[in-house]
Amino acid sequence: MDILQPCNIIDEKLGNHAKVECVHGMGHSLTKAYQYDVIKAVQKCDAYKDKTERYMCQGGLFMENINQYWKDGGGQFDKNDPYYPCDKIDSEHAALCYRYQGLYFLKNSDFDTKSLF
């Protein structure tokens, strides 16, 4: 699956800002394409050699995962390991994953921030 070409075409026609948004959208798509297997999908974002593009792809991926959890309890999470999947991926990818994991904690605590701490 070539995830680079569609966004490169967008870049040629609309410019880099549009390309970066396309890359973010590709992260959402990868999550769905891999049936919310975040660990497999996140490795595909490494196809982007530019650091900003990798970051945007990963952001879309982790955002899609948490969106699905909020929608219907889906996505890739583990009730026995509240840090999963972030604690199972390398540190480059994990930092952004943890940013979205906070939303998982909030939802599971019924937005009671005091109980989170």
- Note the pTM of the prediction, 2 decimals: 0.90
Banded model confidence at residue 96, pLDDT cuts 50, 70, 90? very high
Q: Out of 9-13, 17-21, 91-95, 98-102, which region has the weakest mean confidence (pLDDT)?
A: 91-95
Q: Mean pLDDT for the chain?
A: 93
Residues 6+ apart with CB under 8 A from 77: 65, 69, 84, 85, 104
pLDDT of residue 26: 97
* Sequence ranges of the domains in the chain: 5-116
Looking at residues 57-83, what average pLDDT do you find? 96
pLDDT of residue 76: 96
What angle (nearest 5°) sits at the alpha carbon of residue 89, between those of residues 108 and 111? Answer: 15
Residue 92 has pLDDT above 90, yes or no: no
Looking at residues 63-70, what average pLDDT do you find? 97
